[in-house]
Amino acid sequence: MRIALSGTPVENKLAELHSLFDFILPGYLGTVKEFEREYSKPIEKEQSQEALESLKKVTAPFLLRRLKTDRSIIQELPEKVVNDTYAALTPRQVHRPRTCYAIYQ
């Protein structure tokens, strides 16, 4: 049995969704080229609702999605904790970004 956990692959890029499915169910969504032709290009570039609904239909049985806006979920989440930690950079770490910036100017 294979299980994949992810943050928000569909909202980032559909290729990430294909990659996850190819791990858990190799070939289920076709090859990368087939997936791009059937889903990625129509959805991301052409905003095709038909392709989006088709993708949702074939992936829905395998997805468990929890939204922070779901009232039953928000009660289960702990309060947000922010811990700022600072670290001193070495001279080499300080110099590297400056070098990269100079190269790409």
User: Between the CA of residue 28 and those of 21, 69, 74, 104, what are the distances in Å?
Assistant: 7, 31, 33, 42
pLDDT of residue 65: 73
Q: Where are the alpha helices (DSSP H) in 1-105?
A: 9-12, 14-24, 32-35, 49-59, 71-74, 91-103
pLDDT of residue 9: 56
Among the listed residues 59, 50, 46, the one whose alpha carbon sits nearest the alpha carbon of residue 16: 59
One digit per residue, the tens of pLDDT, for the chain of length 105 reads 888 877 765 667 888 899 999 999 999 999 999 999 999 999 999 999 999 999 999 999 988 777 667 777 677 777 778 899 999 988 888 877 776 666 666
pLDDT of residue 8: 65
Question: pLDDT by residue (tens digit) across 6-30?
Answer: 776 566 788 889 999 999 999 999 9
- The Cα–Cα gap between 91 and 102 comes to 17
The two three-digit tokens of residue 21, written as one number: 């499915």
